Structure 1
Amino acid sequence: MRGYLAPEWIAYVAIKAKADEGPAVITDTISAGQSLTANQTIVSKDGNFELGFFAPDHPIIYQSSSELKLLENGNLVILNGSKNPIWSTNSASRVSNSSELVLGDDGNLVLRDGFNSSVNQESAEARVLEELRRSLSGLFSLELKPDSEYVLMWNGSQEYWTSGVWDGQGFSLVPEMRTRFLFNFSFQSNENESYFTYYTYNKNLLSRFVIDLSGQIKQFSWLEQTKMWNLFWSKPLKQCDVYAHCGAFSRCNTADSPCQCLQGFKELSLEDWNLGDPSGGCVRKNSLQCGNGDRFVPMPGMKSPINSVPFAADSAANCKSTCLNNCSCNAYAYSGTGCSLWFDDLLNIQQLDNGGDELYIRVAASEISSSWKKSTHLPAIVGAIAGALVLLGLVLVLIWTWRKWRPAESSKTVEGSLTAFTYRDLQVATKNFSERLGAGAFGSVFKGTLSDSTLIAVKKLQGITQGEKQFRAEVSTIGTIQHVNLVRLRGFCSEGDKRLLVYDYMENRSLNSHLFHEDDSKAVLDWKTRYNIALGTARGLAYLHEECRDCSRFWFGKAHRSRIQQGFNNHEGNERLSRARMDFRRAITAKADVYSYGMMLFEIISGRRNLEQSENGKIDFFPTQAANQVAKGGNVRVILDSQLEGTANTEELTRAFRAACWCIQDDEIHRPAMAQVVQILEGFLEAMPPPMPRSLQLFVEVNRT
């Protein structure tokens, strides 16, 4: 059976908070055979929500004569003035006249029948949440598979995102679900049905969960103070990760304008593109002549389409001629894996930041001027040959040098100031990884001892997928970083799929082991020590962002990443690699580090985790309390760690508090640079009272109600 996964997720297009707009049918239910017309609505039991045809922002076509009808077979449809369906659930009840549509006080619009289920366990056929479009069938759909994983599908055929499995707290590839201060997510699966649902802890909070023209699933919450919808999370995170978002013969580029027609092509419907819907793609400006009348445009650094046809060609020239001699061939690529040809429309082409294939797109000869042919092809060929010869010479010299000077008796090599350990070395040093110090998002850390009795901390990285060359290049960059507030990277290990980093061991371990502990016998970090830790961490990050010439942006994270040396001198961990480049909210930038630093600063001030669950099950989000203090102009001492008994320098506390609030502003341009944070903490730059971030306004409103 094909129908809604959860009809309430798209019903928001016709639901709003109760308002007086025309006569309303005082009921919360539509039974089989009944309908709503343009001047009718249904209202939830307690009057929280109203369903009908509304047009404050995006009018529905044919609004005055539109009709929402629940057919006797259980299919829910929207009809236009000619009584033709423009949208449908494509569902049907097994029992005639048994279906009903109910609008709940939680905002859910539920289509029920006596056998309602999200997955038909007998046929194992998935139910679907389709994108609401002007046509009856949308390009994008969210489906629940029989193995209890959700997937996003393009055109019902191409899977491009999966939720991962449910682990009791959330779906494994949707980490936002673990932030449970606003929503309670749950998943039910038994022999009769499988479905996912959520509710808000505060019934006055409006939320909507949608799949739209972007091909992404999104969850929003309404901010009453700003009268705006606040995006809580979306998947896939990158628009270019949505399959064929830009349509045929168009490329997606996250760093630039998301969609661009390929050279020699134009928008199929410029009107749709201007309305934000590029899914129709592009068409050729000039028809192909076939044979020698056509040319190829090179496109380097591309993620190639998936519908390629392999061809046994022994050279790039042979691959090109094969495509040129077939009038249906639209593109080709040649690499070490052989020749690939494309005969269908080119879909899901992406411009990559690094790597990728060189794709050759077939265009009419008129698209390429004679000057381009004369000035580009020959220099490109000559340059490529010359570059290859130089590179080959360098490789031969390096191989000869390495073989000549390699110490035969040692299993270790040295890259710059870093030692390349063998996996066996680190197994011995850590006693087969027996003493675990902690774990983070990218692996666990173990204590070890080298043969010269030097203590080390070994991090086993998980989920690092880049190749040997790229891994060593990034590690080499990290190894050049030298700063008093940064942990020293001693070396690394790269064997097969094993990736490990070796650091100096910090005697006092991480900051969170001193801030968050239940052992009353442990000494409490005094304010002076905390302030010095905050200042030292800020200096380390400022160095990474502005003074370290070759440093890439370093993901900061939480308090556990701040290491404490003996004597409580702060050292910031710098173990960021490729996977850490992508935080689940956005691409990592310097200002993302600033945000994470601000969240850590709140924990230093309060001595508690920002997110905690109280004994009565209520979720407490500490920055909410801090935001309330900003709004009320209250005394910042009320948020100070109670263990300090008020013994903190008021001026320093105010600086730290204001710096933290500025660091977590929603818009990156409003966050200070880390160098400015250092100046604020040192007292050389005055920080004015910051505005309350929109995201925290939502939390404040929830707590108030």
Structure 2
Amino acid sequence: MKYRAFSVSFLCLLCFATAKTLGSLKRGSSLSVEDDSDFLTSPDKSFTCGFHGVGTNAYWFSIWFTSSKDRTIVWMANRDKPVNGLGSRVYLSRDGSMVLTDVDGAIIWKSSTNSSTSTVAERAELLDSGNLVLKDPSGKILWQSFDFPTDTLLPNQRFRKTNKLISNLGRGDFGTGYFSFYFDNDNVLKLMYDGPDISSLYWPDLDYSVFQNGRNAYNSSRVAVLDELGSFSSSDELQFSAFDMGLRVKRRLSMDYDGNLRLYSLNSSTGLWIITWQAMVELCKVHGICGQNGICIYTPGPKCSCPPGYEVADPSNLNLGCKRKFKKRTCSKSQEEKFVQIPQVDFYGFDLNFSNTVSIDDCRQLCLGDCRCEAFSYRLNGEGRCYTKSALFNGYKSPDFVGSIYLRMPVSVEAPLLVTRLNALDSCKSTEAQKMGSASMYDNTSKRVRWAYLYWFATAAGAVEILFILSGWWLLFRRHGARAPIEDGYHVISSQFRMFRYAELKKATKTFKEELGRGASGAVFKGVLEDERVVAVKKLADIYQGEDVFWAEVSIIGKINHMNLVRIWGFCSEDKHRLLVSEFIENGSLDKHLFPPNFLGWQERFKVAIGVAKGLAYLHHECLEWVIHCDVKPENILLDSNFEAKIADFGLAKLTQRGSQSSMFSKVRGTKGYMAPEWALNLPITAKVDVYSYGVVILELVKGIRLSNWALEDSEEQEAELTRCVRIVKRKIQCGEDSWMEDMLDPRLKGQFSRKQAEKMVEIGISCVEEDRSRRPTMDSVLQDLLECEGESYVHL
């Protein structure tokens, strides 16, 4: 009996030992923390999987780059629960799960199993891609580490809506950190700080909409991938590439513990990493790195500082921010107070109030009148923007910020009224304090090499950008002759939006020879610019604003960019000439294709309905400036070569409406038949007037005729075709008659349509033209309803 027990024990030990020499871990085998040679290696030796130790007795089951100098980890099973250096092991259990146990046998981590499959994993393998997989006897992958990323994405590793890259806590601290990279609910990839005190998004740029940041929220796949060439692409249209693009380079995309997302390339000869792309150029704009009341400044790397009247909360960890040296005010007690100005400093978020075009004194009074107000931010961008703050987080100092923060504190606190310089706190005394240090601290690489590279790259990039901006401003000033608002400068130039000379447009249009169309807002002419771009030039009627006023208004339109809006390239403002230059749309307006004798197929009609909904939803809900179109009609819906709808003439209502204090307009706008009842009733004008107009258009798409025309009833009384049509359909639906669809549909379709799509369009159209605007849907909800039935196929009835 003893001999048999000894034999079984010996065979088990022999089985465990085979993991050292094989490229796979078979069921019943294990890897031990006590043997430094006990690990799995990918066939090409690029990746190693085993126990990674830090300190004296903390180990993590991980995957790392074999040839990197510091064994850079790309995946970790137990990042928040390190195991003991004695007796801990990982093994493939009888049920096919990979199990990590501590010295006492407690299960620290276990791979998830797929209950829908009857097979169990037979072996674990580490692939050349860095993917740890569990395979069944036939070689089918049952589980893979690529589905559970930690802080790093590898080439060809799909990043989906259920995944997140979450940073480590700090250098050498592999615990789950506060910064994450993920798909948000609007389908856009974002960076977020989720700390003990606040949660705050900080990338892409929060001052601009999804589309102005080059993203697209209208996708449902939520998937991204980094390819082997070093190019990253995502379903939200985020794209970037390593500057050393090419094959045979080891790369990784990592969410670093300082809050920046970086793409790295491995130097195979030195084993050191080089940054080849990064999301944040200004690290101080990463949220949360200096804690509450702290201010991030560059010296030249990002470091934390406390404002006057505040001191470090914890000298060993600057991420915990700063605390007051004075008692916090109470609403029940009044005290003499002052405001300390710190130029070029702002604290993002926690706005109690936002006011536009106000004086600094008015802004100060807003803060004093609210006991919750800790400070106010006043931006010197020509408009006087005031933000009162209930808390001070995400503080940063930047030479690009044209404003100041004004801190509220008792008069008794010793602090100058104007602080011209902030001193960075010394973080060299504490390892923990270095967590928010410079970009050179992410790896145990040569700091001298890294900084040399960064300085060279930053200097070169900065020089190119400065030359680009200066040349753009020179061209702008030469044509404009006046200084544009500071906040518009770079984005206007980078978007190619510019000012044209009248003589230049006169030449481009051959003295306004070929007229494309004419409306209440002016006539449109075809033109060809010197760079051979074909454009549409609109001569605006009744626009007599001064140049500076017109520039300020039209620059807002120039910032608006969406695939379903006609792109505005620039404007002209000379004497009384006011012109807008936009892209030329090949197929002209919708009315020329939809109404008899012309004909538009069902697929194109539904595509137009969605495109117009997208454009209006962007104007109403996502645009930098809230824009009401006020004249949505088929003539203002243009179709490109792919019959993609593009809304024209958006923003004209804003251009012609100066001096309005609210949503009230001084005169009626729009086109008869598409105008909401609010215009006639002299009610405040809101985005719901566009919803009404859209309702008319979408019903016309179904019906195929003008619903703005008048119909003659049997009683010889006239009523609008729209009113008659909606009234009849509503009655038939209420009575349960099935023929209402046939009454609504364009007979020229001859049954070639999607019934589900048609029903949805009619339902939306009727709800949009409700007289009571509160019962009309928003364009955002309209769009979501249409997208839900976008994939429906049409059939012949």
Q: TM-score over 0.5 for the alignment?
A: no
Q: Identify the structure with bigger relative contact order (alpha carbons < 8 Å, sequence gap 6+).
A: 1
Choose 1 or 2 for highest CA Rg.
2
TM tier relative to shorter chain: 0.3 to 0.5
